[in-house]
């Protein structure tokens, strides 16, 4: 199986995952297949993990072209949908390890907010962590990653496509830090 076939298989598996379905107050209503939740315009739960190095640089990564939402976009956070039976914190730890190969770090919780655009309706929790080790990228989801100064990321986001949901999370995170 070549890389594009692996990405396609991963996308199908991802679309079939059972994820948390919630109401407009973030009360759990049940679990639905990701593609069904999105198709029906229902609300799910999502995590964002802002990964910094000890110099304060933020890890940004480029999403693969096979992603259902924002393919090829740059992302300021690891993260994703909260799976059936998971808490937000468990989802954040899992996503950080899956996407960037980072585990065993302290996750600091920062914010809980609602995000909506044409493609997503999400209750989100954001976290941050510090990591100076190597990154091990999940090839089905992440094409490349690097640490950049936050000011450079904010400038870059004005010129390149960045995921709007994580950008909102980052904007809120930076506002809380002021």
Cα angle 105-34-84, degrees, rounded to a multiple of 5 = 55
Q: E strands of the chain, at which residues?
A: 18-22, 28-33, 43-52, 58-63, 74-75, 78-81, 108-116, 121-130, 142-148
99 annotated as ligand-binding: yes
Contact 45, 82 (CB under 8 A): yes
Q: Does the annotation list 168 as a binding residue? A: no
CA nearest to 20, candidates 116, 70, 87, 111:
87
Point out the annotated binding site for Mg(2+).
Answer: 95, 99
Point out the annotated binding site.
Answer: 95, 99
């Amino acid at each position: 199986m070549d890389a594009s076939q692996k990405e396609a298989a991963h996308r199908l598996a991802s679309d079939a995952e059972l994820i948390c379905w919630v109401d407009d107050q973030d009360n759990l209503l049940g679990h639905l297949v990701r593609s069904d939740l999105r198709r029906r315009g229902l609300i799910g739960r999502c995590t964002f993990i802002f990964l910094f190095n000890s110099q304060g640089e933020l890890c940004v990564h480029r999403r693969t072209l096979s992603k259902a939402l924002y393919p090829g976009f740059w992302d300021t956070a690891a993260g994703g949908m909260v799976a059936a039976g998971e808490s937000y914190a468990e989802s954040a730890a899992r996503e950080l390890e899956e996407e960037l190969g980072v585990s065993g770090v302290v996750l600091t919780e920062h914010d809980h907010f609602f995000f909506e655009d044409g493609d997503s309706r999400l209750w989100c929790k954001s976290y941050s962590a510090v990591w100076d080790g190597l990154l091990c990228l999940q090839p089905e989801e992440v094409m490349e990653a690097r640490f950049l100064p936050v000011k450079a990321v904010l400038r870059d986001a004005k010129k390149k496509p960045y995921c709007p949901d994580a950008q909102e999370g980052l904007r809120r995170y930076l506002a809380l830090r002021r």
